[in-house]
């Protein structure tokens, strides 16, 4: 037996002894892996700060544009209109920003990043859930910007701080739910541009044909039927009630039902498609 082989046997024995003397680390749970991927989504902003444009410039532009364009014509003054508009513009801005969830996922899929994630011994949905959790932090920033800007231009929520926080939380819950729609779309189309195009075709009618900008009672009867059934309208009404300090009606329950249904339906479809996505 040579000296080299003896050394290799000793090294091998030392390695095996070291491995045998240590307990195998526990498998990470679903919460920890989801939070880890959520943190990954936030770290990407440090390398690509342009990702913050949609949650900073976009909310400011929408709030100022619609307030000063329609305020005088619809309510007689900007101060009067902003009380009605701001909860709706909050919902519209945050919900429209969720489209970028799908484009981000499609880009990662095209780069092969999720092929590696699927091979890891982790809870399978955690990369997707973590991505949505990371986006929720971005949506919170957009909500904060809109509320602060609204206070500057004359918005005075009667529901106080608590009502505003509850309204924002409800918006974030619905946005997290609708994010599953875009993740599913990103798994069935072939490019990030296609995800954006399909998402726009879905979200534009939902947000603009709603009660965000005007009272549905001023609309034709056939249009009122769509607006009143629109989940965005239920969300906007619930947020207005919470922020305005008025009693919350059935719209809150309807919004939560829509949110749960979106997660169940599109979350299941997403995971079914995610197993074979390329």
pLDDT value at residue 122: 81
Average pLDDT over residues 219-241: 92
Q: Which residue has the higher pLDDT, 212 or 66?
A: 212
pTM, entire model: 0.83
The answer to whether the beta carbons of residues 230 and 206 sit under 8 Å apart is yes
Average pLDDT over residues 105-128: 81
Q: Please say if the pLDDT value at position 41 is more than 70.
A: yes
pLDDT value at residue 217: 84
Q: Please say if the pLDDT value at position 205 is more than 80.
A: yes
Distance CA(262)–CA(181), nearest Å, equals: 7
- Long-range CB contact pairs, 219-225, < 8 A, 24+: none
Which of 175-179, 226-230, 257-261, 273-277 is predicted with the least confidence, judged by mean pLDDT? 273-277
Q: Is 71 helix (H, G, I), strand (E, B) or coil?
A: helix
What residues does each domain of the chain span?
Answer: 30-274
| pLDDT band at residue 253 using 50, 70 and 90 as cut-offs | very high
The answer to whether the beta carbons of residues 245 and 157 sit under 8 Å apart is yes
Buried b (16+ CB within 10 A) or exposed e, 195-220: bbebbeeebeebbebbbbbbebeebe
- Six-digit token string for 230: 């629109």
Which of 27-31, 132-136, 164-168 is predicted with the least confidence, judged by mean pLDDT? 27-31
| pLDDT band at residue 251 using 50, 70 and 90 as cut-offs | very high
Nearest to 181 by CA among 93, 276, 264: 264
Handedness of CA 187, 190, 196, 201 (dihedral sign): negative
Nearest to 180 by CA among 271, 275, 89: 271
Q: Please say if the pLDDT value at position 3 is more than 60.
A: no
pLDDT value at residue 214: 85
Longest dimension (CA), the chain: 98
Task: Pick the most confident of 63-67, 104-108, 143-147, 273-277.
Answer: 143-147
DSSP string across 15-58: HHHHHHTSPPPPPP-HHHHHHHHHHHHHHHHHH-GGGGHHHHHH
Q: Which residue has the higher pLDDT, 165 or 105?
A: 165
Share the mean pLDDT of the chain: 84
pLDDT value at residue 17: 64
Distance CA(158)–CA(132), nearest Å, equals: 31
Q: Please say if the pLDDT value at position 55 is more than 70.
A: yes
Which of 16-20, 51-55, 225-229 is predicted with the least confidence, judged by mean pLDDT? 16-20
Which of 4-8, 20-24, 187-191, 219-223 is predicted with the least confidence, judged by mean pLDDT? 4-8
Buried b (16+ CB within 10 A) or exposed e, 157-185: bebeeebbebbbebbbbbbbbbbbbbbbb
Nearest to 232 by CA among 213, 247, 217: 213
Which of 17-26, 109-118, 255-264 is predicted with the least confidence, judged by mean pLDDT? 17-26
Distance CA(255)–CA(170), nearest Å, equals: 8
Average pLDDT over residues 139-162: 90
- Six-digit token string for 107: 């880009």
Average pLDDT over residues 233-238: 95
């Amino acid at each position: 037996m040579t000296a080299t082989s003896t050394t290799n046997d000793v090294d091998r024995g030392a390695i095996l002894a070291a491995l045998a003397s240590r307990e195998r680390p526990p498998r990470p749970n679903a919460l920890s892996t989801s939070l880890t991927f959520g943190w990954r989504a936030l770290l990407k902003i440090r390398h690509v700060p342009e990702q913050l444009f949609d949650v900073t410039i976009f909310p400011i532009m929408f709030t100022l544009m619609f307030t000063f364009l329609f305020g005088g014509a619809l309510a007689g003054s900007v101060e009067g209109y902003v009380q009605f508009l701001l909860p709706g513009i909050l919902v519209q801005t945050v919900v429209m920003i969720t489209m970028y969830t799908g484009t981000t996922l499609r880009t990662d899929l095209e780069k092969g990043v999720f092929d590696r994630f699927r091979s890891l011994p982790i809870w399978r949905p955690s990369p997707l859930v973590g991505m949505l959790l990371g986006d929720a932090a971005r949506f919170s920033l957009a909500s904060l910007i809109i509320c602060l800007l609204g206070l500057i231009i004359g918005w005075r929520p009667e529901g106080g701080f608590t009502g505003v926080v509850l309204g924002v939380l409800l918006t974030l819950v619905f946005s997290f739910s609708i994010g599953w729609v875009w993740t599913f779309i990103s798994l069935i189309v072939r490019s990030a541009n296609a995800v954006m195009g399909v998402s726009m075709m879905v979200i534009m009618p939902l947000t603009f044909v709603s009660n965000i900008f005007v009272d549905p009672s001023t609309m034709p009867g056939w249009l009122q039927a769509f607006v009143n059934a629109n989940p965005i309208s239920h969300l906007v009404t619930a947020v207005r009630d919470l922020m305005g300090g008025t009693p919350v009606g059935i719209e809150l329950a309807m919004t939560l039902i829509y949110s749960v249904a979106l997660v169940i339906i599109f979350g299941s479809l997403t995971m079914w498609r995610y197993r074979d996505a390329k």
